[in-house]
Amino acid sequence: MTTFKKTISAIALAGVSIVAVAAGVQAAEKRPAELAPLGEPPSPPDNPMTPEKVELGKLLFFDPRLSGNGAMPCSACHLPELGWDFPDKISLGYPGTVHWRNSPTIVNSAYYGNLFWTGVSKSLEAEARTAARGGVAGNGEDDMMEARLAFIPEYRERFNDVFGTEYPLMRDAYMAIAAFERSIVQRDTPFDLYMLGDDDALSDQQKRGMELFTGKAGCSTCHDGALISNQKYYNLGVPAYDGWEDDELAQITFRFELYAKGSTEEKYRKWKDDPGLYFVTKQEADLGKFRVPSLRYTKYTAPYMHNGMLETLEDVVEFYNQGGGTNDWAATKTDLIKPLGLTDKEKADLVAFVESFSGERLLMETPDLPEYEPLPAVTN
């Protein structure tokens, strides 16, 4: 008996209609090969996830004591009720400063190979450390933050249970925060349900949008796979952040970042736009390039792009429909973007499909944080 016949016989013995199976196979073949549903989030062997570690990371994520001034938790820029990001063009900055880039959502960040807009951190552990210590973000120092944690009995107990240390270490704090962030995933979106076989999970409009996404609009050239991102870097011609024209603090932050990340005197004086990936590679071919973000959960994460210059998903679709924009880095703009010639109906269909990458809002209340107490007296 052939393998095919054996398979059919097994299905029949299981009481499953062969016609139904054939219909299911036929339906599955309609799914676009460029896209896929999300699988289980990774759990790195050097930082395995446990319920206790995730719960500790949750407390630390919301705890403002992990910052320079004791008032800037991770959640200040990643608000659960507002998309797990910050609802403005530019993220919240450390008091006395402003940030200089849009705050990405942490939803599904477990699946990224490179974190931040220019991939400067290669893991969520490194991302947590970079954010907590960044000059216009958390502005913290490990020794000061460790000292604060040492005065909190519940943290001493939790760190000892999870990591086996007598006192909390920031190295372990970043690992716990990363474990918590890996738990913030969404895998039951209409898109995922459709890709797993539910023909009714997408509306007719969304299915038309899917055809555009993988066809005429060419979105899946860069937004593919299960993450809906190839995680590569491109200059799309996104215009410079308009706050640099009239916001004094934003101008100071921009100059600070140019200086801190390394640029010549000439470039420091001349550049008026975010150099992007150039800061990582120092290759002028990478000027203005930023990582392709996932389109998952984007229904709740407006505004869009690395500097928030596009306000709505409709604006994003129109931006691509026009062939991108113009900025100071015209020489490096990708040739993948060309005018699309989409009709108003097609643009609406495309937006509807992009919204299918988002399910219900993922909400979470701020946990009650443990209190300081005096360290126990040392006895001989």
Separation of alpha carbons 159 and 186, rounded Å: 28
DSSP string, 287-335: TTBEEPPP-TTGGG--SBSTT--B-SHHHHHHHHHTT----TTGGGB-T
Nearest to 274 by CA among 253, 247, 295: 253
Listed in sequence order, the DSSP H helices in the chain are: 3-13, 18-28, 51-62, 124-133, 142-150, 153-163, 170-182, 190-195, 204-214, 243-246, 248-261, 265-270, 278-281, 313-321, 344-355
Contact criterion met (CB below 8 Å) for 103 and 78 = yes
Q: Is 37 assigned a ligand-binding role in the annotation?
A: no
Q: Is 32 assigned a ligand-binding role in the annotation?
A: no
Separation of alpha carbons 133 and 153, rounded Å: 24
Nearest to 116 by CA among 260, 247, 306: 306
Contact criterion met (CB below 8 Å) for 84 and 105 = yes
Q: Is 78 assigned a ligand-binding role in the annotation?
A: yes
Q: Is 222 assigned a ligand-binding role in the annotation?
A: yes
Query: Could you tell me the maximum CA-CA distance found in the chain, to the nearest angstrom?
Result: 81
Q: Is 74 assigned a ligand-binding role in the annotation?
A: yes
Q: Is 99 assigned a ligand-binding role in the annotation?
A: no
Adjacent-strand bridge partners of 193:
none
User: Which amino acids are annotated as binding site, given as ranges?
Assistant: 74, 77-78, 219, 222-223
Q: Which residues are annotated as a binding site for heme c?
A: 74, 77-78, 219, 222-223
